[in-house]
Amino acid sequence: MYMTLRQLTLFKAVAQHLSFTRAAAELCLTQPAVSIQIKQLEGHIGMPLFEQIGKRIFLTEAGRELYAACGDIFARIEALETSLNELQGSIKGLLKLSVVTNASYFTPHLFKAFLRLYPDVHLRLNVTNRTNVLERLVNNEDDLVIMGQVPEQMHVESYQFLESPLVVLAPPQHSLVNQAHIPLVRLAQEPILVREVGSGTRLAMERCFAAYDLELPTEMELGSSEAIKQGVMAGLGVSVLSQHTLILELATGKIKLLDVEEFPLIRYWYVAHLSEKKLSLVARTFLDFMLSSAKEIIQKIHPLQEIN
């Protein structure tokens, strides 16, 4: 069976878009150029890879098989490129990262600084929730992941690279704003907006309240930091979030921090990978960069406001 990488590249694009025209546009070709290559590929294979029904095209069984094989073939080529780059000693190639949503408030600044140092690195970034990040970590889909809490039961190497102070936030007109040393017991009397079960912030709040034999009220549960912030600004209650997610709201005065005893709770951001994973040179370089420079860069861009 004779087929070229060129043909497989075009096939993969057509299969992804399910359109010859869009695949051609993506690859800066004309549609006939793509059609011809696919025809030749089908000739080599001896079976049609696409079937046309009306104006739409679909993968045939053979097409689906080839598409699955393409995943392996191109992943292997990517790995080959990375190892060849390593042999040359140059820091370039693909860096695949997954980041939990909350970390997206500050990670773009780190990526920008890293790419300024290593412009030949191509970053493939996936911003998603904690569950998806863990799933991608288990399936070895990324070089590194960035998250707030690394599960202890997994075989994972993790590295603290940044403090994540959890602070108590309230709307500016709230009666506790500007009060000093508010006891946790007093805070517990307020309506509190909490993140969903499984969130690292929720876990930290529960531990803090439990240490004082207090029960965390969970009537108002919201699924994201953005929803929490909107809820607090709307006057639904107070809440606890990482201070890194509040830079804009604090700067514009739409949210105030409360001086609650025991707060800020200090948690950490981690960069992590599976223990057995052999990091590429690019990934190792990024990891070193995060450990050596992240704190300084974030402090410069987002200096954290003192409470009161």
Partner DNA sequence: TGACGCCCACATACCCCAGG
Partner DNA sequence: CCTGGGGTATGTGGGCGTCA
Q: Which residues bind DNA (CB under 7 A)?
A: 4, 6, 19-22, 28-33, 35-40, 52, 54-55, 57
Q: What is the closest distance, in whole angstroms, from the C-beta atom of residue 70 to DNA in the complex?
A: 17
Question: What span, in angstroms and rounded, lies between the C-alpha atoms of 265 and 241?
Answer: 10
Nearer to DNA, 20 or 270 (CB): 20
Q: What is the closest distance, in whole angstroms, from the C-beta atom of residue 8 to DNA in the complex?
A: 11
Residue 78's nearest CA partner among 283, 286, 274, 272 is: 283
Q: What is the closest distance, in whole angstroms, from the C-beta atom of residue 67 to DNA in the complex?
A: 15
Q: What is the closest distance, in whole angstroms, from the C-beta atom of residue 58 to DNA in the complex?
A: 10
Of all residues in the chain, what percent are helix, strand and coil, respectively (each to 5)? Answer: 45, 25, 30
Question: What span, in angstroms and rounded, lies between the C-alpha atoms of 12 and 49?
Answer: 11
Q: What is the closest distance, in whole angstroms, from the C-beta atom of residue 61 to DNA in the complex?
A: 17
Question: What span, in angstroms and rounded, lies between the C-alpha atoms of 165 and 169?
Answer: 12
Q: Judge contact between 148 and 270, C-beta under 8 A.
A: yes
The amino acid present at 217, given as its one-letter code, is: P
Nearer to DNA, 53 or 87 (CB): 53
Phi, psi torsion values for 111, nearest 5 degrees: -60, -40
User: Beta strands 265-274 and 156-170: pairing type?
Assistant: antiparallel
281-301 and 61-88 are packed helices; what angle lies between their axes, rounded to 10 degrees?
Answer: 80
Nearer to DNA, 5 or 211 (CB): 5
Question: What span, in angstroms and rounded, lies between the C-alpha atoms of 115 and 301?
Answer: 17
Q: What is the closest distance, in whole angstroms, from the C-beta atom of residue 25 to DNA in the complex?
A: 9
Nearer to DNA, 52 or 179 (CB): 52
Question: What span, in angstroms and rounded, lies between the C-alpha atoms of 61 and 101?
Answer: 37
Q: What is the closest distance, in whole angstroms, from the C-beta atom of residue 87 to DNA in the complex?
A: 23
Nearer to DNA, 40 or 285 (CB): 40
Nearer to DNA, 20 or 161 (CB): 20
Residue 21's nearest CA partner among 45, 47, 56 is: 56
Cis amide prior to 264 (ω within 30 degrees): yes
Measure CA 234 to chain center: 28
Nearer to DNA, 3 or 94 (CB): 3
